[in-house]
Amino acid sequence: MPRNIHITHRNDNGWAVVREKAEKASEIFSTQEKAINFGRPIAKKEKVELVIHDTKNRIRDKDSYGDDSCPPKDKKY
């Protein structure tokens, strides 16, 4: 089963793209935007959620690309 993709903050190293339950980051970027741009196509291809964290690693946003029979109403758009 594919695992969600998380964009997490790394104190001195920037922003990491991490698969759920993975021990190591797939990639680390200097900006959150670069990390999101790397992780979004993966989430779309694997039909999972892209979970974006803030600088304190609290979830600030989620984008779902899976087949959800009862999707939440997106308040962003």
Please write the tens of the pLDDT for every residue from 21-60.
999 999 999 999 999 999 999 999 999 999 999 999 999 9
Query: Do the domain assignments include residue 71?
Result: no
Query: Do the domain assignments include residue 73?
Result: no
Query: Do the domain assignments include residue 51?
Result: yes
- Reported pTM: 0.85
Task: Say if residues 38 and 31 touch (Cβ distance below 8 Å).
Answer: no
> How many independent structural domains does the chain possess?
1
Q: Which domain holds residue 21?
A: 5-64
Query: Do the domain assignments include residue 77?
Result: no
Query: Do the domain assignments include residue 32?
Result: yes
Query: Do the domain assignments include residue 76?
Result: no
Task: Say if residues 50 and 63 touch (Cβ distance below 8 Å).
Answer: yes
CA proximity to 72, closest of 6, 45, 61, 17: 61
For position 70, what pLDDT does the model report?
63
Query: Do the domain assignments include residue 33?
Result: yes
With a CB cutoff of 8 Å and minimum separation 6, the contacts of 30 are 14, 15
In angstroms, what CA-CA distances link 24 with 52, 62, 70, 72?
Answer: 17, 21, 32, 30
